[in-house]
Amino acid sequence: MTVKIKVYSDFICPFCFLGTGPLDEVVKEKDVEVEWMPFELRPSPFPKIDPRTQPRVMEAWNSIIYPTAKKLGLEIKLPHFRSYTHLAFEGYQFAKEHGKGNEFHHRVFIANFQEEQNIEDIEVLTKLADEVGLSQEAFKEALVSRKYKKMHREAIKHALIDAQITAVPTFIIGDEVIQGITSKEKLAKAIDQEIENNKEDELDGLQCSIDGDS
């Protein structure tokens, strides 16, 4: 059976990007379907800051983020600016509707954390969409017109109210909720447990009727 993994994340969260390392390894080995769920850490109108001017941010990158990236074998760079991500997520909704959600999501991560591209710029996002096989014209029109604004807002409302997400990344596999970067082994264990739970559910209610028919 295919196990669904919901991953709540934000494109500007370095831990979300690093969390793709173990997740990608599991995807290669398990029958899973990953669904990325939007979450905004610093939505507009929170002020933008240059993370390189923040001592605590720099300390976290030097002591935690860079060493973790090295351990996972992932390249990561501290972006020059912290972008708003609502347009990137609206683009993700377009991509998802056209069967390229995961590809676009991954491409935006790479653009932000490895290529230092401005992922709130419509022209940049349109170029990324084209690179994963989406129509540039249709994609750009969707962002300019804010066609997916309501859908994105509903996704954020779901994350905050229904799923009660307070930190990202958050992985949800069945009833298992895993917050923060986790290992490939822990993800695999949760997937295997969900498979077992579903096998048990298939047995629930099996019985013979009073007339003897099975």
- pLDDT, position 208: 67
Long-range contacts of 116-125 (CB under 8 A, 24+ apart): 116/77, 116/79, 116/80, 118/81, 118/83, 119/11, 119/83, 119/85, 119/88, 120/83, 120/84, 120/85, 120/86, 120/87, 120/88, 122/87, 125/87, 125/88, 125/91
Assess if CATH 3.40.50.10540 describes domain 3-203.
no
Q: Please compute the mean of the pLDDT values over residues 25-49 and round it to a whole number.
A: 93
- The residue ranges of every structural domain in the chain are 3-203
- Structure confidence by residue, pLDDT tens digits, 47-61: 887 888 889 999 999
Q: How far is CA 152 from the centre of its chain?
A: 14
pTM for the structure as a whole = 0.90
- pLDDT, position 125: 98
Task: Flag whether pLDDT at 211 surpasses 70.
Answer: no
